[in-house]
Amino acid sequence: MSDPTWRERLFGGFRKTSERLAENLAVVSTARLDQATLDDVEDALVLSDLGPSAASRICDRLAEKRFGLTMTERELKEAVAEEIAAILRPVAKPLEIVAFPRPQVILVIGVNGSGKTTTIAKLAHLFQEQDYGVLLAAGDTFRAAAIGQLKVWAERIGVAVVTGPEGGDPASVVFDAVKQATATGIDALIVDTAGRLQNKRELMDELAKIRRVLGRLNPEAPHDVVLVLDATNGQNALSQIDVFKEVAGVTGLIMTKLDGTARGGVLVAAAEQYGLPIHAIGVGEKIDDLRPFDPDLVARVIAGVA
């Protein structure tokens, strides 16, 4: 991505992650890439939240290409960045508005506190920048705070939001929103959903009902089921993917709060383990702090290669 300010924000946002990896790699003797060195590199990657599977794959590739070679610390980081990028490239897929007839219905799911509602606003803003019309639906009717927060954001970015009473039926909010979006020719309808995981069955039933209602109005909908993950949860974010894949049929991921954690490596673990599209990443609180996922840039940022 050519935007230099975004590049700077990414480097700033991933600083804790890249410092952690640099710290873990610092113990590696890089004179010559032998088996002992590779074992140290693998340990460093696992300790940096990239996960055992990705760490093992990266080291296998390093061994294939560079075993026995003398490498400087910089060359090692460059090589690690290249192998991280190889894992991330296949999953880097921007969320594109392609549905016909409109609207494209995007269900956004995630546990409470993951930054879901803020991410919806940022996603809406991203679509606005591409000249798409956006409508929001407050499908998390169980928390008055969620409805209120979505309304505030909608007003701030100048989009309409369809709401229902607190404690009301989310499916009926979604029904009204799809009818409104269809009637007005809106390009994208982004639906907030409840983030309660304590009762998986209840959440599953609720999402199934929303899907049934959507299917009656638009057999293709939902076109996307996007899971918002909080990077500060590290490896726990991966168990959320497991649960939501089962409960909601996740089609893609957005990872938030990468600026607040040293665990940004979990992005690589998620890519390696699940292969789900990563649509975008967030590195801050501002409205334009969510951008499409650039795998090469992110790989260099994680590895600390400017």
Confidence of residue 1 (pLDDT cuts 50, 70, 90): very low
How many Å apart are CA 261 and CA 280, to the nearest integer? 17
Side chain identity at residue 72, one-letter code:
T
Q: What does the pLDDT look like over 84-94, one tens digit per residue?
A: 999 999 999 99
| CATH 1.20.120.140 domain extents, the chain | 4-91
Residues 168, 136 contacting (CB under 8 angstroms):
no
| CATH 3.40.50.300 domain extents, the chain | 104-293
Lowest model confidence (mean pLDDT) among 20-29, 51-60, 268-277, 287-296: 20-29
How many Å apart are CA 5 and CA 19, to the nearest integer? 20
Fold (CATH) for 104-293: Rossmann fold (3.40.50)
Residue 64, Cβ density class (10 Å: 0-12 exposed, 13-18 middle, ≥19 buried): exposed
The conformation of residue 89, written as its DSSP 8-state character, comes to G
Three-class DSSP category at 245:
helix
Instruction: Find the mean pLDDT for residues 260-281.
Output: 93
Residues 109, 116 contacting (CB under 8 angstroms):
yes
The conformation of residue 221, written as its DSSP 8-state character, comes to -
Query: Is residue 222 reached through a cis peptide bond, with omega within 30 degrees of 0 on the bond before it?
Result: yes
Q: What does the pLDDT look like over 97-112, one tens digit per residue?
A: 999 999 999 999 998 8
Confidence of residue 265 (pLDDT cuts 50, 70, 90): very high
Q: How far apart are the two ends of the chain, measured CA to CA in Å?
A: 14
List Cα–Cα distances, 98 to 106, 134, 293, in angstroms: 12, 14, 18
Q: What does the pLDDT look like over 214-246, one tens digit per residue?
A: 989 999 999 999 999 999 888 889 999 998 988
pLDDT at 294 over 50: yes
Task: Identify the CATH number of the domain defined by range 4-91.
Answer: 1.20.120.140
